[in-house]
Structure 1
C-alpha cells in the first residue's frame, strides 16, 4: 500500500521497449467536458533523464530513454457523494513524438500524507520514464488529495475509485486534443496495493459501461485487497495485524463517506481514538501513525465493536459496505494479470487467489495470477513492474 514503492519506477522505467512505431490513423473522439484547468509543472530534458538513469546504475537502459518530458497538473471535475467536485492529478507528455502515443494510467498506493499526492509532491514519481519511452502517462491524485484535499479520502470505495480514474483519463484526453497532441486508442491500467484495487475498479466500470467510450488494452494489478470481506475475515480470525493504520483508515473513511458520523470511540479504544483524531489528518505518515497504535487487534478496537464485528449479525452496515466495495470477478475480455507476494503481511496472498477464482467463476479466461515467491507487501512491487512492463510492450502499437 505504500506509495514509496512507485519510486522504484525511477529505475524500472528503463525496461520499456521502443515498441512498434507505426502510426494509428485513429484519434479517439472526446465528447464530454471534464477538464477545468492545466498548469505546466516542469520540462525535463532528455539528457537529464539519461543522467538520472546512469546515476541509478542502469546505464544499459539509457538508450530506451528517448524523449524529453513535460509534466502538467490537471484539475478536473468528478463526482463525490452526488455532488460535482474538483479533483486533480499529473500527466506526463513525451516531446517530439513521431507517432500517436498510447495512454497509461498508473494508480498510486496508499498515502497518509497529503503532501505525497502526485500533483503536490516535489519528488519524481517515475512516470517521467514511461513518458520518455513514448507513453502519455497519467497519475490521478484520488479524491482527498491535491485539489480535493479538504475531503477525507474515500479509501477502498469502488465506485468513487473508478470515477476518479475515469474522469482523469477523460480530462487528459480533452487536454491532449485541445493541444493537438496525437494519441491513439490504447489505454493501459496498472496499480499496486490500493492502486491495484483502484485499477480493477476502473477497468470493471469502463468495460461494463459503454457510455465511457473507452476500451482498456491491458491491466496489471498487484496486491489490491480486492475482496474486502476476505480481509475482514483475516482480521477478525487473528489477534494481530501488522499495519493497524490501514485498518483505521478503512473504518474512518467508511464512517465519513457513508455519513455514519459515529465518534471514533465507537470503533477504537479511547487511547487510540484520541491518537487517530490527532494524527489521521493528512499531515503524518503511515509509520508514525502506526507507532501511535497497536498491532494487537482486540486492544486496538472498542471491545463491544470488536465483539459485534465477529458476530454474523453484528455491524451489518459496515459489512454491507465491505461487500458492496469488494471487487468480484466479471466475465472480462481485458487481458489482466494479478500479482501478489506469497509472504504479504498486510494483504494476504489468498485474497488474490479468491479474486482469481471469482473471475473464473464468472467465465473469464483472460485473467491470471502471478505469485511472487516470498514477496512481502513492500518488496513485491518491483518484481511485478519488471514483469508487466515488457508485457504491456508486446501489445503496444
Structure 2
C-alpha cells in the first residue's frame, strides 16, 4: 500500500527539505504564518510548515515501488497547518487540519478534501506533518489544493474523544475546513478553481459520504461538489455491527471499543463501560483510547471474540431486543437515507476483514433505490482493507482529472 510503504522515507525527505526553506520561492507563504480569528469567519490561524520539490516526491514513489504515480506527481508542494472553528455539542470548537498547495500550475487548481482512515495515536494526525504522513498529501503534487482535516479529537481538539462514525461531526469537520480554507486562499491570493472533490478511505470513506450528504442537502453551505470517491467505509452501521457480532471472532476489536465509547461520549450518555464490555476490558478502554496507543496496541489488549468482549446482556440485546439507545444511534448515523447527486464512486475489496464487503453492497443498493443516478460501485476482487486503497487511487486520479479538462 502506497501510504504505508513510503511513510518512513517521506519523513526523512520532508525533514531535509523543511530545514532549507529560507530563501526559497515560498516567501509569500512564509510571511503568512499567522492569521488571527478576528480577521476571518471561521479561520482561526494558519502556520507555514514547509516546501517539497516534486522531484523528491517522485523519487520517493519510485524508490518504494510505485513509479506508475510519477507521471501524475508534477508539482512542487507548499504545506500549511490550519486551525478553524467547527461545532461540537452545540458549541463553537477549534479543529485543525493540513493544507497542501501545488506550486506554479498553469491554471488554478481544484480543491480536493481528502479524508483519512481511523487513527488511534494522536501523533498520527495530519496536522502533525511531517512527523505524520497519511498519503493524501500526494494529491497536491498531482495538481490539487488538498485539504486534510484532522477531525474532532485530534490536533487542536485533542482534548475531545474523537467523534468516531458520527455523521454530523464528521460532515462539519470537513465542510468547515473547506470554508476556512477558501477564506485563507482569498486572503493570501492563492488562486483555486470552483471545482470541489471529496475522497476518503475506511473511516475517511464514511466521512466523505457524510460530508457529501450534508453539502448536497443543505444549500446554505454554498458548496457544489464536482465528484466524490469513497472506499471501504462502514456506511450502514447497523448492518456492519450485525455482521461482526454474529461472527465467531473479529480481529480488530479496537474499532468496536472506539465506536461505543465515542457514542457514549459525544451523545452525552455517560454510561459506565461495564454496560457494554466485560471486565477487564471495560476498565482498560479509557486508557487504551487516550491517544497514546496505536490501533495494533489497542487490539493486543482486547479479546477478539465479540461474545467475550461485550457484556452478556448487551451482546444478547444487540442480537435481539433491547439497547434501543445504541441501535437508534447506529441507525441515525448510517448513511443510507439519501441519494448522492454529484458523480460518485464507491470502492471496496471483496476480501476485506475489517469492514465487510457486503456493507458497501447494501449501502450502494439503498442509495440507488433512493434515486442516486450517477453512483457506481467498484469491487476490487481479492482486495483486503489494506490493499484496496492502491487500485482505488489508480482509478481515482484519472477519473478526477477528467473533470478538470
TM-score above 0.5, yes or no: yes
The farther-off stretch of 62-71 and 78-87 is: 62-71
Cα distance change on mapping 1:234 and 1:126 into 2, 3 Å: closer
Distance 2:66 2:275 in 1: 51
Cα distance change on mapping 1:280 and 1:162 into 2, 3 Å: same
1:38 corresponds in structure 2 to: 46
Match of 1:81 among 72, 86, 89: 89
Distance 1:348 1:176 in 2: 39
Tell me how far 1:252 sits from its aligned partner: 0.4
2:212 and 2:340 in contact (8 A); partners too: no
Deviations 1:286-325 (A, max 9, x none): 111111111111111111221222222x000000000000
Distance 1:263 1:207 in 2: 38
2:246 corresponds in structure 1 to: 237
Cα distance change on mapping 1:133 and 1:266 into 2, 3 Å: same
2:75 and 2:102 in contact (8 A); partners too: yes
Alignment of 1:126-165 (within 5 A): 126-165=135-174
Unmatched segments (≥5 aa) in structure 1:
11-31
Number of aligned residues = 372
Find out whether 1:124 has 2:133 as its counterpart. Answer: yes
Tell me how far 1:329 sits from its aligned partner: 4.7
2:17 corresponds in structure 1 to: none
Alignment of 1:232-271 (within 5 A): 232-271=241-280
2:123 and 2:132 in contact (8 A); partners too: no
1:9 and 1:129 in contact (8 A); partners too: no
Cα distance change on mapping 1:391 and 1:64 into 2, 3 Å: closer
The farther-off stretch of 48-57 and 281-290 is: 48-57
Match of 1:295 among 298, 304, 307: 304
1:69 and 1:93 in contact (8 A); partners too: yes
Distance 2:68 2:233 in 1: 32
The farther-off stretch of 217-226 and 235-244 is: 235-244
2:343 corresponds in structure 1 to: 335
Deviations 1:88-146 (A, max 9, x none): 00000112223111011110000110110000141333334321222101100000000
Tell me how far 1:73 sits from its aligned partner: 0.3
Higher relative contact order (CA closer than 8 Å, sequence separation 6+): 1
Match of 1:70 among 75, 78, 83: 78
2:87 and 2:169 in contact (8 A); partners too: yes
Match of 1:207 among 202, 205, 216: 216
Cα distance change on mapping 1:40 and 1:304 into 2, 3 Å: same
Find the residue that maps to 2:118 and give its secondary structure: coil
Find out whether 1:101 has 2:109 as its counterpart. Answer: yes
Find the residue that maps to 1:185 and give its secondary structure: coil
1:180 corresponds in structure 2 to: 189
Find out whether 1:52 has 2:49 as its counterpart. Answer: no
Distance 2:378 2:62 in 1: 30
Match of 1:285 among 294, 305, 312: 294
Find the residue that maps to 1:89 and give its secondary structure: strand
Find out whether 1:228 has 2:237 as its counterpart. Answer: yes
1:67 and 1:94 in contact (8 A); partners too: yes
The farther-off stretch of 254-263 and 47-56 is: 47-56
2:355 corresponds in structure 1 to: 347
Distance 2:232 2:65 in 1: 28
Cα distance change on mapping 1:114 and 1:362 into 2, 3 Å: same
The farther-off stretch of 243-252 and 358-367 is: 358-367
Cα distance change on mapping 1:53 and 1:180 into 2, 3 Å: same
| Cα RMSD (Å) | 1.7
1:5 and 1:378 in contact (8 A); partners too: no
Find the residue that maps to 1:76 and give its secondary structure: strand
1:329 and 1:360 in contact (8 A); partners too: no
The farther-off stretch of 184-193 and 38-47 is: 38-47
1:16 corresponds in structure 2 to: none
Find out whether 1:114 has 2:148 as its counterpart. Answer: no
Cα distance change on mapping 1:54 and 1:83 into 2, 3 Å: same
